[in-house]
Structures are given as structure tokens and as C-alpha cells.
């Protein structure tokens, strides 16, 4: 069971940067858990082979919803003793069908060619969310699951049911009618408030006037795009491609200050009021559900478990980051003193510019210099080959199989003589397509019944007859990251239950496997397998990889401290008493405490911190997972990543179980202990290892 808000958050958790058929209620062919003996289900042709139009799409989705409802009704109608067959199987069938419905509609909102199709899928996404919410409050289903005798069942089944019961209780299913009615009302209010908060940010595009001379230091193409108007002024908007380069490169501190003031006042004062309402709504929901704060309620189904544990993590993170952050802060201040002798503090609006100056002075590395080694076709092949070696699978192209767009590539995933899943790569920009990068599930995997399918939806350069499709370093990292989500999805697809897919995992674990795979991108051995110069075919030189890694290690202390400050703002707002909540004081306090940077008076960053709506108190999860990812990565032999036996053990203990085991146990099963900060601290300190960058190209 996943209620609407939860399920969308699970899906969103897969967004980088940034939470789903057939037969109904049929008894499965086998009841054994993910045993190797379970027959491998056949892989039907890709759904898009029949080129479903909007009408056909709606028919597919309605069919799945009807199947889910039939299963739910069957559970409630059952009068006899509760058994796995008459209760958990139909429950899991309902889950599988609702998942398939939600996954497909969510995918189509991102990739459908025309606006009408995207609108239809948005409407369907809302519809399935409503069904999921109803299910999360269905007392008959809750009581049926509660009545199951699980004493003879396997551990995965016991865990599955206990986690579903927890999620039901967190939705309020066991409360009296008046309380449930109030919760429903609050939930509807919250939906309105969160969307207003996000909409106020996206709609509030502000403009700063600049003198043309103030653009000095910016790249020429930026200056060319920003010509003065009739009044002699250049207009710089708060859109990222306008403001962020200016904060990084403009020599004029006065301009950067004005831009930052404008940027950090987006949605102010409107969103101050909306935030106070959201905090009050969430606090009341938490109280009704028996928690003292929203941060406690939100942490309950996560690895962290309690708000106190999150607060402790934020302190541990600060302690780990402080040595590197303070050294970097000293560098920034020294850089500032070159222009302003006697300066004693660094303001937040100066950090990006000063960092860039230090980076240029300290590292002989231009990120453009690696692009010729990363043409998209070679990177794609390289990542598939790397994943094959690491996880002992094969990716076989399905020629002419067809996706939703002619550019989509389809691959079957094989292990030995068994087909174990399918993936879709939709990797290049198109008009109307989702503009970031994420992994979107298409089908849950269920042993003996249904193979897992998933898609990567990204926006990387495309190779054409005249353009080799050279990727940025950061694009390649993103590709590894998203592929980490993808292999997690596919390799966990042979569980007994659809509902124990990775989305059943604690939400603060979901970014660990993806961030783990990012680390492999830094291995010269892995890169040598595919990073070859587009013109000369020369393998990327080890010296260049070393310089690239050194340059990318710069600024980790500041960046982790910033993430810590953001996490603290998110956590502290939702663990405060809403009656006395002062988001300005929390924001200023967090910047000063965690980053040492001085905020400009009169700014209100929190009104444009969109994650306060979706992530609410749980912005810490990326850093939480980064700590786990570094701990995981430290178990591998870096000098011989591709041959290391750790990868198979990692696959078996961390990826394959999906959401059939708690994430705290997955971590312990692989590491032999809970995660700790040692590997993360080493990663933080890497920028200060070694005196000078290695010579040579």
C-alpha cells in the first residue's frame, strides 16, 4: 500500500537532483519466494509495439484499475478465515495493477509526444493516486491483512505485511471516523498548499537590471544573449541559466549581490504564509496520528526512524564536513582579500564566484577538455558493458521492438539462459519531453509471473551525422547514477511479491545504490574501457582522469555543509511548534551554523526552497544516502573494480532483495555493521590529499 502522497514521493525520489498487468486476482503459479526453481515468466512484446493512442492508453489503464478494484473487493468480501491465498495474493495483485497504472501514466506525462496525451496521463496519474489513497484508508483491507497468520511464512512475506500495516497506520486507517474525516480534510488541504508553494516559485520570475559593463567576466555567448535594451540596461531574470552563470563569473560584486537578493526573495512574501499553513497542517496531522511533530511522523517509515535520529545525523554530518569546509572557507576569504584587503567574512552571494576563482587557480583542468572522450554512443556502450561485468548480466538489443518514440532503444536483460527483464533508453531531448533525468519503472517484477521493466528518461546530446554527441563530465556521472536506479529495479525483480519492489524500501535508502554507482565513474580502469577520443581513438589518459577527479573533489566540504544547512532548514521547520515558527530565524541560523557564510539581510531563501513542499522534513536523505554510498564503495578494490568479487556480493545482499528486507538490514548484511562516516570523511578530505595535481596530460 502506498498512499497518493507517499507514492508520488517515492517516484520523485528517483529523480536525479529529485517516487509502477494483466490478469486480475489470479493465483500465482508458485508460492515459493524468489527461488531459482521458479519458472522465468515470458516477456511480452513492448507495450508500445501496438502504438496505443490516447484512447488505447486510457483503456489499458482503466483495465488495470478495474482489476485492482476487483482484487480489493474480493478481499473485503471474503468471509472465511484469512489466508495468504484469499488475502495477501489479491492484495498484491491490487498493488501490482495499481503500480502498473501509476508507472505508465507517470512515464507518459514525461515522454508523450503531444500535449493532449500528456494531459490525459496527468489526469490518469491523479485518478490512480485517488484510488491509492482510498486503499490506504480502507479499514476492511487493513483488518484483513492484520488477521493473517504469518507464523509459517518466509521472512520476506512477514516483512512485507508488517511494513504495509505500518503504512496503513501512518495513513490513519485505525482511527475513529471523525479523526479519519479530519485527516482526509487535512490531506486535501495539504495537496492544495504544496501545489501553491511550488506554483508560487515557478511563476515568480523576477528581473534585475544590469549595466552592460557589469557583465565583465561572463562567457562571450552569455554576453551575446544579454544585449542592453532601449533603456541601456541588460535584463537578467531569476531563471537558472540567467542567474547562476552571473553569480559564478561576473566580476562585479555589486551585480552579484543584487542578483542574489532578487533570487533569494522569489515567492516572498506569498510563500511565507503558505509555508506557515503547510507547517500547521502537517503538525496537526502528526498530532492526530500520535506523533509530537511532523518530522517524527515523516521519519517513522524511514531508516532514520525518528526526528531525533535525523537531528543527530545533521550534527554528525557537520562534524565530518567541518575540517574541509573550514579549509575551503579560508581559501575563499583569502581570495576575497586579494580584491578587498581586510575583509573578514564571506557572504553567501560571493561563494560561487570565489570558488570558481580558487578552482581556476588551483587546478589545471578545463571540463571541456574531457568532452571529446565522451561521445554518447561510446558512453552508452561503456555503461552497459560496465554493468554487465559488475552484475553478471547481458543487455541484448531488441531490434525493431519499438518504444514510445523512434529514438527509444529497447534491451532485454539476460542472466545465463534466463531473460530477467527489459529496459528502455529514452536519452535525448525532444520538444515537450521531461527536461531532467530519472528512472521510471514500467512493471514490477514478480517471480514466475511478471518480469521487471523500467526506463531511463534523460536529456543527453545525441550523435548525428555531423555531431558526435559529446557529453559533459557531469552528464556521464548522471548516466551512471540513473543506471544505478535501473539495475536496482531489474535485479530485484524476482521477489515473490510485487509490493516488495524497491519502492517498498525506506525512502531514505533509495539514492544509495545510484550514488554508489557514481563512484565507479571515477575509476581509470572503468573509464579506460570506453572513454576514447572521438577523433584519435586515444584512451583517456590516466593523468587527465586524475586531474578531473581532483578538480571534482574540490569544494566538497562547502557543498556538504550547504546540503547540511538545507537539511537543517527542512527538518527544523517541521519539528518546530507551528504557533511560534520563525522560518527566517531558522534559515539564517542554519546558514551561519553549518556553512559560516553570511546571508544578506532582507533575503528569505526558504520561500523558494521548493523541497519544503515535497520532501518536507526529509531533505537529509540525499546526504544520508551519500554516506551509505561511500561506505558501500569503500568495500570494493578500487584498483580492480571490474574483477572484484564484492560486486556479486553487493548484488546478492543489497540489490536483489529489493524492498523485501528493511534497508537497515540490507546495509548490515553487506557491511557486517551499520553504516558509519569513515569512508565519507575520507571522500570529503580527498581534495586536500597530495600536494599538487599530477603532471602531464
Residue nearest to Zn ion (CB): 514
Per-residue binding letters, 7-26, with Zn ion (x by CB under 5 A): ---------x----------
Give CA–CA dist 370/375, Å, rounded: 10
Nearer Cβ to Zn ion (348/511): 511
Residue 450 bridge partners (DSSP):
446
Q: Is the dihedral of CA 523, 529, 533, 534 positive or negative?
A: negative
* 558 counts as binding Zn ion under rule CB under 5 A: no
Taking the least distance from each CB to Zn ion, the nearer of 263 and 683 is 683
Q: How far is the CB of 110 from Zn ion (least distance, A)?
A: 15
Residue 532 near residue 539, CB atoms below 8 Å: yes
Between residue 330 and residue 389, which ones bind Zn ion under the rule CB under 5 A? none
Q: Using an 8 Å Cβ cutoff, are 217 and 183 in contact?
A: no
CB atoms within 10 A of CB 340: 10
Roughly what angle, to the nearest 10 degrees, separates helices 307-339 and 556-573?
A: 130
Question: Quick one: which of 614, 60, 574, 633 has its CA closest to 291?
Answer: 574
Contact flag: residue 478 with Zn ion (CB under 5 A) = no
| Piece of the chain touching Zn ion by CB under 5 A; list 47-55, 322-330, 453-461, 506-514 | 506-514
Q: Which region among 365-373, 424-432, 486-494, 504-512 touches Zn ion (by CB under 5 A)? A: 504-512
Pick the closer one to Zn ion by CB: 11 or 442: 11
- Of 99 and 511, CB closest to Zn ion: 511
Nearer to Zn ion, 263 or 473 (CB): 473
DSSP 159-200: HHHHHHHHHHHHHTTTS-HHHHHHHHHHHHHHHHHHHHHHHH
User: Which residues inside 158-177 make contact with Zn ion, applying CB under 5 A?
Assistant: none
Q: Which is nearer to Zn ion, 16 or 49 (CB)?
A: 16
| Size of residue set near Zn ion by CB under 5 A | 3
Binding string to Zn ion for residues 296 to 325, with x set by CB under 5 A, is what? Answer: ------------------------------
Question: 456 with 424: CB under 8 angstroms?
Answer: yes
514 binds Zn ion (CB under 5 A): yes
CB 32 within 8 A of CB 497: no
> Quick one: 16 or 539, whose CB is closer to Zn ion?
16
Single out the segment in contact with Zn ion by CB under 5 A; choices: 100-108, 256-264, 503-511, 626-634: 503-511
Q: How far apart are CA 357 and CA 599, in angstroms?
A: 21
By beta-carbon proximity to Zn ion, the closer residue of 440 and 671 is 440
Do residues 597 and 351 touch, judged by C-beta distance below 8 A? yes
Q: What x/- string results for residues 627 through 666 when contact with Zn ion is judged by CB under 5 A?
A: ----------------------------------------
Write the Ramachandran bin of 153: left for phi over 0, alpha for psi from -120 to 50, otherwise beta.
beta
Binding span for Zn ion by CB under 5 A among 370-378, 466-474, 505-513, 625-633: 505-513
State the nearest-atom distance from the C-beta of 623 to Zn ion, in Å: 13
DSSP assignment letter at 691: S
Beta bridge partners of 421: 413
CB of 390 to Zn ion, least distance (A): 18
Contact positions toward Zn ion, by CB under 5 A? Answer: 16, 511, 514
Amino acid at each position: 500500500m502506498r498512499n497518493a502522497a507517499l507514492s508520488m514521493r517515492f517516484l520523485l525520489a528517483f529523480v536525479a537532483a529529485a517516487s509502477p498487468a494483466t490478469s486480475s486476482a489470479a493465483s500465482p503459479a508458485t508460492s515459493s519466494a524468489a527461488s531459482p526453481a521458479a519458472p522465468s515468466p515470458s516477456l511480452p512484446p513492448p507495450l508500445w509495439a501496438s502504438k496505443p493512442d490516447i484512447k488505447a492508453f486510457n483503456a489499458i489503464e482503466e483495465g488495470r484499475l478495474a482489476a485492482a478494484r476487483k482484487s480489493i473487493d474480493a478481499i473485503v468480501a471474503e468471509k472465511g478465515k484469512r489466508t495468504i491465498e484469499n488475502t495477501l495474493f489479491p492484495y498484491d495483485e491490487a498493488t501490482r495493477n495499481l503500480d502498473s497504472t501509476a508507472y505508465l501514466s507517470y512515464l507518459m506525462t514525461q515522454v508523450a509526444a503531444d500535449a493532449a496525451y500528456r494531459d490525459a496521463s496527468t489526469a490518469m496519474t491523479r485518478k490512480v493516486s485517488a484510488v491509492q489513497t482510498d486503499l490506504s484508508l480502507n479499514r476492511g483491507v487493513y483488518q484483513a491483512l492484520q488477521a493473517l497468520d504469518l507464523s509459517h511464512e518466509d521472512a520476506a512475506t512477514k516483512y512485507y505485511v508488517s511494513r504495509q500495516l505500518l503504512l496503513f497506520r501512518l495513513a490513519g486507517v485505525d482511527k475513529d471516523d471523525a479523526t479519519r474525516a479530519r485527516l482526509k480534510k487535512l490531506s486535501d488541504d495539504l495537496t492544495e498548499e504544496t501545489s501553491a508553494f511550488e506554483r508560487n516559485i515557478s511563476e515568480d520570475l523576477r528581473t534585475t537590471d544590469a549595466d552592460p559593463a557589469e557583465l565583465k567576466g561572463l562567457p562571450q555567448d552569455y554576453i551575446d544573449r544579454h544585449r542592453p535594451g532601449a533603456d541601456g540596461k541588460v535584463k537578467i531574470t531569476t531563471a537558472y541559466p540567467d542567474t547562476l552563470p552571473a553569480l559564478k563569473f561576473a566580476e562585479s560584486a555589486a551585480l552579484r549581490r543584487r542578483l542574489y537578493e532578487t533570487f533569494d526573495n522569489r515567492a516572498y512574501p506569498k510563500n511565507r504564509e503558505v509555508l506557515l499553513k503547510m507547517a500547521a497542517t502537517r503538525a496537526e496531522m502528526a498530532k492526530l496520528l500520535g506523533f509530537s511533530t511532523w518530522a517524527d511522523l515523516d521519519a517513522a517509515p524511514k531508516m532514520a526512524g525518528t526526528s531525533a535520529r535525523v537531528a543527530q545525523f545533521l550534527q554528525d554530518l557537520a562534524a565530518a564536513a567541518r575540517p574541509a569546509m573550514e579549509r575551503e572557507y579560508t581559501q575563499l576569504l583569502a581570495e576575497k582579500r586579494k580584491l578587498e584587503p581586510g575583509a573578514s567574512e564571506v557572504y553567501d552571494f560571493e561563494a560561487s564566484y570565489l570558488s570558481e576563482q580558487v578552482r581556476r587557480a588551483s587546478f589545471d583542468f578545463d571540463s571541456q577538455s574531457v568532452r571529446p572522450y565522451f561521445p554518447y554512443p561510446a558512453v552508452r556502450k561503456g555503461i552497459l558493458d560496465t554493468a554487465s561485468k559488475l552484475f553478471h548480466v547481458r543487455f541484448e538489443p531488441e531490434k525493431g521492438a519499438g518504444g514510445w518514440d523512434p529514438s527509444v532503444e529497447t534491451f532485454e536483460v539476460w542472466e545465463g539462459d534466463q531473460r530477467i527483464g527489459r529496459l528502455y533508453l529514452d536519452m535525448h531531448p525532444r520538444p515537450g519531453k521531461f527536461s531532467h533525468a530519472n528512472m521510471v519503472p514500467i512493471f514490477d517484477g514478480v517471480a514466475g509471473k511478471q518480469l521487471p521493466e523500467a526506463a531511463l528518461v534523460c536529456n543527453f546530446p545525441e550523435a548525428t551525422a555531423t555531431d558526435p554527441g559529446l557529453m559533459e563530465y557531469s552528464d556521464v556521472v548522471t548516466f551512471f547514477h540513473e543506471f544505478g536506479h535501473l539495475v536496482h529495479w531489474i535485479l530485484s525483480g524476482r521477489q515473490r511479491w510485487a509490493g516488495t519492489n524497491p519502492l517498498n524500501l525506506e525512502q531514505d535508502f533509495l539514492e544509495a545504490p545510484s550514488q554508489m554507482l557514481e563512484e565507479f565513474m571515477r575509476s581509470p580502469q572503468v573509464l579506460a574501457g570506453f572513454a576514447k577520443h572521438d577523433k584519435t581513438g586515444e584512451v583517456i589518459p590516466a593523468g587527465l582522469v586524475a586531474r578531473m577527479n581532483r578538480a571534482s573533489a574540490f569544494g566538497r566540504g562547502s557543498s556538504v555543509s550547504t546540503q547540511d544547512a538545507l537539511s537543517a532548514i527542512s527538518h527544523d521547520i517541521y519539528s518546530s511548534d507551528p504557533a511560534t515558527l520563525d522560518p527566517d530565524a531558522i534559515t539564517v541560523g542554519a546558514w551561519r551554523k553549518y556553512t559560516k557564510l553570511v546571508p544578506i539581510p532582507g533575503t528569505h531563501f526558504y520561500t523558494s526552497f521548493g523541497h519544503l513542499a515535497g520532501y518536507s522534513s526529509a531533505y537529509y536523505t540525499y546526504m544520508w544516502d551519500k554516506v551509505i554510498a561511500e561506505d558501500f564503495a569503500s568495500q570494493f578494490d578500487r584498483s580492480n573494480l571490474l574483477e572484484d568479487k564484492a560486486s556479486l556480493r553487493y548484488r546478492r545482499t543489497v540489490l536483489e532483495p529489493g524492498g523485501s528486507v528493511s534497508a537497515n538490514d540490507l546495509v548490515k548484511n553487506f557491511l557486517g555493521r551499520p553504516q558509519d562516516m569513515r569512508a565519507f570523511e575520507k571522500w570529503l578530505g580527498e581534495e586536500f590529499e597530495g600536494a599538487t595535481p599530477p603532471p602531464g596530460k
